[in-house]
Amino acid sequence: MANAQSLQLSRSLLRFYRLGLVGHSILITAISVSAYSGLLPTKSILFPHYDLVMHFLLVGMFGFFLDGSFAHKKLTNAPFFPRLGPSIALLLAATEETLQRFSPRRSSSWSDFIANATGILICSWLALKLSESRAQRAKGVA
C-alpha cells in the first residue's frame, strides 16, 4: 500500500472530494443555522441519542471530504503525525462544540465531541482507503 504522502489522486477523484466538500459544507451550514434558530429539534423521543449518530455521520463525512480534498496531505513528514484534513476538521468540531455553550438553544457535551472525533477519524481513514484502492486500480490498468 502506498502511504498518504505518495498518493497521486486522479482528477475525477479529487473532483469528487472537492464537490462533496462543497455540498456537505452547505448541508452542515443549513443544519447548523436551523439548529441555532430553533427550527431543528435538538431531542427526539422516538430515537434517543440520534444527535450522536448525526454528529458522527455529518462531521465524519466532513472529515472524509476535507481529507480527500487535501489529497491526504500530512501536516509534517514526521512519522505518525496527523493529516491536514482530519486535523482541521477536529479543530472546527471543537470550536463549534465550544460555541454551542454560548447559545440558549444549543447544548455542548463531551459525548458530542467524541462522536465528532470518532466520525472524523473513521471517515478520514475510509477516504484514505478509497484513494489507495483507486490508485492501485489505476496502476493495474496502466
Q: Which residues contact 61 (CB under 8 A, 6 or more apart)?
A: 20, 24, 119, 123
Whether 119 shows a pLDDT value over 80: the answer reads yes
Confidence (pLDDT) at 139: 81
pLDDT cut 70: percent of the chain above it:
92
- Mean pLDDT for the stretch of residues 110-130: 97
- Output the pLDDT for position 110: 94
Give mean pLDDT, residues 114-136. Answer: 96
Residue 51 neighbours by CB distance under 10 Å: 19
Q: Which residue has the higher pLDDT, 52 or 50?
A: 52
Span 36-49, mean pLDDT? Answer: 77
